[in-house]
Structure 1
Amino acid sequence: MVEGAHSHFHPLDRGDEQNRPISPNGAPEPGRLYEVPARCGRAVRLHAGQRLTIINTHGSQVCDFWAFATVDLCEFVSMAHFHAVASKLTPAVGDGLTSNRRRPLLTLMEDTSPGVHDTLIAACDTHRYEQLGARGYHENCSDNLRNALAAIGVRVPVVPAPFNIWMNTPPADDGSISWRVPVSRSGDRLVLRADADVIAVMSACPQDLVPINGEDQIPKSVAFRVDWP
């Protein structure tokens, strides 16, 4: 399915090295370390049982994460459904990442960081950057999702709210949200086991107008690899 018209969508430039897929269809070479360049996205196909390790190379970078069921792209990891099933805001080791059909598509197997992640904030988009005062086109996680999937010939019907790995935006008792620097460290990793065949997408968040990617507000790369157990 193709998402509806989006007047601000910055289409994939297939000549841009930054937007090149890991392979024509997103299939990974097991054990190989891949980079998600700063401000960019990558898509990877996972078979049930495979493990995806996402690495915070520099320690301060947020990674927006999505996963779609390969057999039906209308099924995807949904943070709202995770909240209902798990009765908590943030996944911890052993928790499944619940789909909008209320089954786990992946399970969190390892997290070497302090476990501070976000499941409330929507992916940044051009409208968000306009509100923050950006002029002209600004890279964003919503378009990174679309571009990463387009690079392997895939379209999805929606941009779901992502699992914002390492993002530190804690809600306060009064309901307000703070935009803080990550508490993760260089080399921290998060390991997800695929419980079904999925297409996972990671975006090295381009946010540079609030300090969620570190005090210097400079987006950086993250890395990932896929292994069999």
Structure 2
Amino acid sequence: MDGPAHGVLTGMVTMGRTMVPAGEGRAVRVGAGRRVRVVDVEGGQVGDLFAFAADDPREHLSAAHTRSATSRLFPQVGESFVTDRRRPILTLAGDTSPGSHDMLIAACDPARYEGLGAPGHASCAGNLESALAGMGLSAAVVPQPVNVFMRIPVEASGRLRWLSAESRPGDAITFEAVMDCVVVLSACPQDLAGINGDGPTPMAMDVL
């Protein structure tokens, strides 16, 4: 995305359910201490999740810094995701899915689809940009997302495998905000690599 991150999250936090149509992205405001539940409505859908600090959106959830903090590929329930400034931003509060999630694979973007022979394809990077713009925000870079329900096992050789999501209809992963933040979810539009089974389907975010 072009330009520096700008804007400050203001106004009331989002409450209730926000539907995320298949292949699109949405953003919600989450106040410190509140929870946001990400729901795979129909099952088998990957979601790219991003989080930005409300008082300075240049600070964002960082997968790399989180792995350093937890010494895990993905936090366990009760552990935190941290920002690029090493501050906790979300805590993993619950998970009713089989538990396959990823923090290694970058968000799909226009260049990815051009390489797959599908120029102009919708992407999670584009969805992030649009969702932030709807709140008057932007970001200088697309952070590494938290890829909920994404199944990327690491083989003993170090090779990664790309498998279809195994989440079931209604499966959910719940995060608690440690600071006031904006959370963006992209119902990943990837329909060429098989990660979303037969194709993208809707997701939902419930701010509790």
TM range (shorter): over 0.9
Deviation at 1:96? 0.3
**Alpha-carbon distance in structure 2 between the residues aligned to 1:213 and 1:151:** 26
Cα distance between partner residues in 2 of 1:25 and 1:156: 20
SS at match of 2:206: strand
- 1:133-173 deviations in whole A, cap 9, x for unaligned? 21x31000001000001012111121100000000011211
Aligned residues: CA RMSD: 1.7
Indicate the residue corresponding to 2:130 in structure 1: 147
- 177, 197, 201: which one pairs with 1:194? 177
Structure 2: stretches of 5+ with no match in the other structure = 5-9
1:225 aligns to what?
206
Structure 1 SS opposite 2:51: strand
SS of 2:137's equivalent in the other structure is coil
1:46 maps to amino acid: V
Q: Taking every aligned residue pair, what percent have the same amino acid on both sides?
A: 46
The gaps in structure 1 that reach 5 residues or longer are 6-23
What's the counterpart of residue 15 of structure 1? none
Moved over 2 A (4+): 2-5, 24-27
**Shift in CA distance, 55/26, structure 1 to aligned 2, threshold 3 Å:** farther
Query: What are the Cα deviations for residues 89-145 of structure 1, in whole angstroms up to 9, with x where unaligned?
Result: 0122111011111121010100001211010000000110111121x3100000100
Q: Secondary structure at the match of 1:80?
A: helix
Deviations 1:46-91 (A, max 9, x none): 1101110110101111010000001111211100001111001012
| TM-score using structure 2 length | 0.93
Q: Identify the match of residue 59 of structure 2 among 75, 96, 99.
A: 75
Distance 1:132 1:47 in 2: 39
User: Superposed, which structure 2 residues align to 1:74-113 within 5 Å?
Assistant: 74-113=58-97
2:37 to 44, 53, 58: 53
Normalised TM-score (structure 1): 0.85
- Give the CA deviation at 1:26: 8.3
